[in-house]
């Protein structure tokens, strides 16, 4: 069987054809070490995972609303991820080539529109999420989402800065273990997505 070349002749073919290059090194880096510090970098991390066909890395880019859609667990997402790939359509085959081409305000969050050239292929609703995470000396992690940024939890008393976290999950901290690390941070995650509807006229 003759192998077809990789040069599309029409724009539609370019959008519909699978990416001709296997997962590029830049995408492999983002899959191994995703970056959620900004809405755009979180989007790049997701598209890197999508292009490399890595379901676990895709799931890491999801915010709580999108996790709920897939049953909130990685296992359930992996069972249904073909639905996501089908809905995203052309964005899957060209994931590693997509670039942010604009933003609009979402409720809440912001829509980041991704495409090739000036044509939007998919839009991601990005929301900033806040969380805390304790690391115990046995390597176990205990954490949960926060309702607001760390600044709302900090209280200054004299020369001390106090951080107050009140969450039921903290009961699971082991009595015999020792907390050796604490992370309180914010990161951008995907809350929703939409694909432009093609004009049939």
Which helix (H) or strand (E) segment holds residue 136: the answer is strand 119-136
- Secondary structure (DSSP) of 44-80: HHHHHHHHTT-HHHHHHTB-HHHHHHTTSSHHHHHHH
- HSE-CB of 182 using CA atoms within 13 angstroms: 9
Strands 160-163 and 154-157 come out as antiparallel
pLDDT value, residue 11: 33
Tell me the average pLDDT of the chain: 84
Mean pLDDT of 94-116: 93
Classified as helix, coil or strand, 131 is strand
Cα-only R_g, the chain: 20
Q: Whole-angstrom Cα distance, residue 66 to residue 192?
A: 6
Measured CA to CA in angstroms, residue 17 lies from 4, 20, 72, 171 at distances of 12, 8, 31, 51
Q: What is the number of other CB atoms lying within 10 angstroms of the CB of residue 88?
A: 18
User: pLDDT tens across 59-94, in order?
Assistant: 999 998 999 988 889 999 999 899 999 999 889 988
Distance between CA atoms of 18 and 94, rounded to whole angstroms? 7
pTM for this structure? Answer: 0.77
CB neighbour list of residue 184: distance below 8 Å, 6 or more residues apart: 130, 131, 132, 146, 150, 153, 163, 165
pLDDT in tens, 114-144: 999 889 999 999 999 998 898 988 888 888 8
């Amino acid at each position: 069987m003759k192998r077809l070349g990789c040069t599309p002749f029409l724009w539609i073919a370019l959008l519909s054809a699978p990416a001709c290059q296997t997962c590029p090194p830049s995408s492999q880096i983002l899959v191994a070490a995703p970056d959620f510090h900004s809405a755009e970098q979180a989007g790049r991390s997701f598209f890197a995972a999508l292009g490399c066909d890595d379901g676990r890395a895709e799931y890491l880019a999801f915010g709580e609303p999108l996790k709920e859609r897939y049953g909130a667990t990685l296992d359930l997402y992996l069972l249904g991820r073909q639905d996501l790939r089908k809905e995203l359509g052309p964005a899957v085959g060209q994931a590693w080539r997509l670039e942010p081409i604009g933003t609009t305000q979402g409720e809440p969050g912001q829509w980041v529109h991704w495409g090739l050239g000036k044509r939007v292929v998919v839009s991601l609703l990005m929301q900033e999420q806040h969380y805390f995470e304790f690391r115990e000396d046995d390597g176990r992690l205990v954490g949960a989402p926060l309702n607001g940024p760390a600044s709302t939890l900090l209280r200054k008393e004299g020369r001390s800065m106090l951080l107050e976290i009140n969450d039921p999950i903290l009961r699971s901290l082991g009595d015999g273990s020792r907390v050796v690390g604490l992370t309180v941070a914010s990161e951008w995650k995907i809350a929703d997505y939409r694909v432009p509807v093609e004009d049939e006229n």
